[in-house]
Amino acid sequence: MDASPELCCLVCAIDLGTTYSGYAYAAKREYQYDPLNITVPNWFDPSPNTFSNKIPTTLLLDKDQSFVAFGCEAKNTYADLEKKGKNDDHIFIPQIDFIFQDTIEMV
């Protein structure tokens, strides 16, 4: 059974902020009917044991600059690596939007 293009399309918003980031989405058909009927996912942050619709804009890479984690997971994983003295083989970027800002300014 083929899906109709109208049913597959989404309206999305991405907020890549300096400190926190988030996203929201809605099915196009639902958005056209009611623009306020959107889904904003919640992220779990185990350190304060809370949920939020924003996640820290942090990135953790390994020594080969390959993706390891994003957001709370990146922050918490790096903190654990630091406690164990094993963080030298990782790159922790606490505010990744500055990387994109430099790229955008170059275009």
Task: Give tens-digit pLDDT for 14-72.
Answer: 888 888 889 999 888 887 889 888 899 888 877 778 888 888 889 999 999 999 999 88
Q: CB-side exposure of 2: number of CA atoms within 13 Å?
A: 3
Distance CA 96, CA 101 (A): 9
What percent of the chain is modeled with pLDDT above 90? 30
- State how far the Cα of 23 lies from the Cα of 71, in Å rounded to an integer: 13
CB atoms within 10 A of CB 8: 11
pTM of the model: 0.66
Rounded distance, CA 41 to CA 20, Å? 14
- Cα(94)–Cα(75) distance, rounded to whole angstroms? 8
